[in-house]
Amino acid sequence: MKSTGSSWLKFGLFSVGLGQSFVFVIVPPLARDLGMTEIQTSLVFAFSAIAWALTSASWGRASDRYGRRNIAMLGLIGYAASLVTMITPLFLVEKNILDVVFLFPLLIFGRLLNGLLGSATRPAAFAYVADNSSRDKRTVKFARLESSFLLGTVAGPLIGGFLILITKETPFYVFSFMALIASIGIYFNIDNTSSHKKTIEPSEKISWLSKSIWPFLALASIASLTQASLLQSIGFFIFDTFSYLDDLPIIVSMSFALLSISTIVSQYLFTDAFPISNFKLLIYGSFLIMFSYITMGYFSKISIYFLSITINGLGAGMLRPALSSALSLSQTPENQGSAAGYLGSVYPIGHMLTPIIAMPIYAINPSFLYYFSSILCISLIIFIISHPIFRMNNENEKSTINS
């Protein structure tokens, strides 16, 4: 039953990945065609990111108290509702049924549902896996959850591209229906377990500033900024640097596909087929990402750019599951949901800071942004090597394996 439950969680995250990637592909140009500005469109996603950051930790704590199943289901239902409430106003305005003046606030409302409710699935899913996996298998289990989401982000534009031939709304309704199917599967195949204990003293509870929490959040925040700045600059960078090439939109799509596929391959190789300790994954991953940004900024050949994107994905495939696993291994069972929620709350930080920090640097010189990201990665490596919690986590992991 636990194996079946995990499969439904993976399917749920896969469904979320489908919609998340396709929303970024279709909504911005469609909204612009209907009269919205680029700033308005970016604000729709910015509000959602803020809502996600503010609520993810609360949903993690809620899963500790009210059960993993209930919170995971709520997140999927909220995500499904957000897809429907985003595409419906666009459809109604396009058909002249709804006045365009209502489009902007309705899109914000629809995307806010994803930030407020959709943020519940991830911390509940990871907490459930933490509850039902041994310490030595934690990294590979988390990596498989991450891979399910990433597979969805790769498949989203492909499947959505076929479904959109029916109508523009079809992909959104199909993806939301898949999320609802996943929530039903979770309901029937996962016990509503909770690690909340009434006997736990308040002093044992964790917070943002707990010594077993904040180092991982700091690491995730910096990594989030480097990743978000890459994702939001890929299209600009390709058009600015390789303007002499043909079919630039295809090159942009290939870059995103390479990034996602190499991340998935990395997660399989270094957490499953040939597992490496979390400590080494964090260092190696940070180093590969640093190297990719240096080559990306220095060389202006498309072949080296594709190689840099691939190396970046390999590094991300090491870093993200190792970070989730290391944080989980540093917590007691009753705090798994809260810890996963805190971690989920900092991942949107990069998308919130990119317009403020990364894009002004890019405006000066595109290469400067990638050099800046490489410097951030160097700081990550120094932080991982120097902070005692990562070394202690490494020693505990070794002792678990040896025992």
Tell me what pLDDT residue 357 has: 87
Strand ranges for 236-372 from DSSP E: none
End-to-end CA distance of the chain: 27
Q: Are 326 and 281 in contact (CB under 8 A)?
A: no
Summarize the confidence of residues 175-179 as an average pLDDT. Answer: 96
Is pLDDT at 374 greater than 70 in this prediction?
A: yes
Q: Spell out the residues 6+ positions from residue 390 whose beta carbon is closer than 8 angstroms to its own.
A: 215, 279, 282, 326, 384
165 three-state secondary structure: coil
> What CATH number does domain 214-402 carry, 1.20.1250.20, 1.10.240.10, 3.10.105.10, 3.40.640.10?
1.20.1250.20
Query: Can you read off the two tokens belonging to residue 290?
Result: 């640093």
| pLDDT per residue as tens digits for the range 3-12 | 677 889 999 9
Tell me what pLDDT residue 201 has: 45
Summarize the confidence of residues 294-311 as an average pLDDT. Answer: 94
Summarize the confidence of residues 16-31 as an average pLDDT. Answer: 79
Least confident of 167-171, 297-301, 332-336: 332-336
Is pLDDT at 403 greater than 60 in this prediction?
A: no
| pLDDT per residue as tens digits for the range 71-126 | 999 999 999 999 999 889 888 888 888 888 888 889 889 989 999 999 999 889 98
- Locus of tokens 């405006």: 363
Query: Can you read off the two tokens belonging to residue 73?
Result: 């289901």
Tell me what pLDDT residue 397 has: 61
Is pLDDT at 198 greater than 50 in this prediction?
A: no
Tell me what pLDDT residue 91 has: 85
| pLDDT per residue as tens digits for the range 252-288 | 878 877 888 898 889 888 887 788 888 999 999 999 9
Is pLDDT at 400 greater than 60 in this prediction?
A: no
- How far apart, in Å, are the Cα atoms of 132 and each of 16, 142, 258, 326, 400? 22, 11, 32, 16, 16
Tell me which of 314 and 36 has the higher pLDDT. Answer: 314
Give the other-Cβ count within 10 Å of 288's Cβ: 22
Of 126, 109, 108, give the one whose Cα is nearest residue 59: 126
Percent of the chain at pLDDT > 90 equals: 31
Q: How many helices (H) and strands (E) does the chain have?
A: 16, 0
Query: Can you read off the two tokens belonging to residue 392?
Result: 């202690």
Domain boundaries, the chain: 2-191, 214-402
Tell me what pLDDT residue 197 has: 47
Tell me what pLDDT residue 117 has: 93
Tell me what pLDDT residue 1 has: 47
The stretches of 67-102 forming alpha helices (DSSP H) are 68-94
Q: Residue 358: what residue type?
A: A
Is pLDDT at 387 greater than 70 in this prediction?
A: yes
Tell me which of 311 and 229 has the higher pLDDT. Answer: 311
- What CATH number was assigned to the domain covering residues 2-191? 1.20.1250.20
Per the document, the length of the chain is 403
Q: Same fold for the domain at 2-191 and the one at 214-402?
A: yes
| pLDDT per residue as tens digits for the range 228-252 | 888 878 878 888 888 888 878 788 8
The stretches of 103-137 forming alpha helices (DSSP H) are 103-116, 121-131
Q: Spell out the residues 6+ positions from residue 96 whose beta carbon is closer than 8 angstroms to its own.
A: none
Q: What is the mean pLDDT of the chain?
A: 85
Confidence label for 195 from pLDDT (cuts 50, 70 and 90): low
CA distance 152 to 81: 18
| pLDDT per residue as tens digits for the range 317-367 | 899 888 888 888 888 877 787 888 888 888 888 878 887 888 889 889 999
